[in-house]
Structure 1
Amino acid sequence: MKWKSASGVLCDRGRLLKLKGKFYRMAIRPAMRYGTECWAVKHQHVHKIGVVEMRMLRGMCGHTRKDKIGNDDIRGKVGVAEIEGKMRENRLRWFGHVQRRPTDTSVRRCYYGTEVQGRKGRGRPRKTLE
């Protein structure tokens, strides 16, 4: 939703790419990364978020995939780092906060040593939407 509300500014050809990149880093990217520090992030999630980010950056530059411009070149033009590294930084920052909490808090008790009780269900697992 942030992208739709800001696409008028970000896709405007009259604006500087560095300015667009700064706005993207300050408004759009935090909305995309919100909550990623406490996800159990899979490779699929990282890939999908990376694809979405590159589509946005290409749109900001006025390019399409048909132009065959590399992702690193587009990121360099806009001045934006890869989102996978930023997601990793967020997770490590959150992990550091959890590690500094006292051991009797609920987050630390969940993290250290709680085992799942019960038996695993029989048969094929249910389908999940991914």
Structure 2
Amino acid sequence: MDDQRVAIHHFSCRDVEGVFLSGFLVPGGPREAEIFLNHHLKTETKVAVYRAVYKSTLLYGAESWTAYRQHVKKLEAFHICCLQRILGLTWQEKVPHSKILHCSNLLSIESTLAEKQLSWIGHVICMPEHRLPRQILYSQLSEACRNPGEPHISDDLYILRA
């Protein structure tokens, strides 16, 4: 897939899988149909591949993300979609997400994000005081530019008021 981009708000499971598989597996290596749809592989093997390739790529750098609800929901939808394909389930079977996660022995995306962020904060707290991440974590603004509840005013409006 040459420079093909998938918009985060209009993705299908197959689109995102194609982008991940084309970019992160070894050329000539196994493809999605050979792994997730192969009935000769154990579910544990399929989940291990998913965890190593998809989930690690999907959540790369998640320690520093600001996790908005809309983004977490989209990531969670992709996560469940992949696990359904691994387990051979369809949406018509109406299997609860909690059961899918239990069968695959994985955490939800929201739990994984919280775990990664808490782990990073614990790491930053243990850093020496001269390190920049620790200084930023414990820093405060020296003075506020506006009163709480007051709207943000750009520099252009300040010039017009003068």
TM-score w.r.t. structure 2 length?
A: 0.64
From the two aligned structures, give the one with the greater helix fraction: 1
Distance apart, 1:3 and its partner CA: 4.7
Alignment root-mean-square deviation, CA:
2.3
> What is the aligned counterpart of 2:138 among 99, 112, 115?
112
Task: Name the % identity.
Answer: 23
**Aligned letter for 1:121?**
I
Distance apart, 1:97 and its partner CA: 1.2
> What is the aligned counterpart of 1:64 among 79, 90, 109?
90
Give the SS at the match of 1:34: coil
Q: Please identify, of 109-118 and 66-75, the stretch whose mean Cα deviation from structure 2 is larger.
A: 109-118
**Aligned letter for 2:20?**
K
Residues 35 and 99 of structure 1, relative CA distance in 2, 3 Å threshold: same
Q: Distance in 1 between matches of 2:130 and 2:99?
A: 49
Greater C-alpha Rg: 2
Q: Distance in 2 between matches of 1:111 and 1:45?
A: 24
List structure 1 runs of 4+ shifted beyond 4 angstroms.
3-6, 116-119
- Counterparts of 1:1-130 in structure 2 under 5 Å? 1-3=19-21, 5=25, 6-8=31-33, 9-115=35-141, 118=145, 120-121=152-153
Q: Distance in 2 between matches of 1:11 and 1:3?
A: 14
Distance apart, 1:118 and its partner CA: 4.4
Q: Which residue of 2 aligns with 1:128?
A: none
Alignment coverage as a number of residue pairs: 122
- In structure 1, stretches of 5+ residues that fail to align are 123-130
- For residues 77-96 of structure 1, the C-alpha deviation after alignment (integer angstroms, 9 at most, x for no partner) is 32322222121111111101
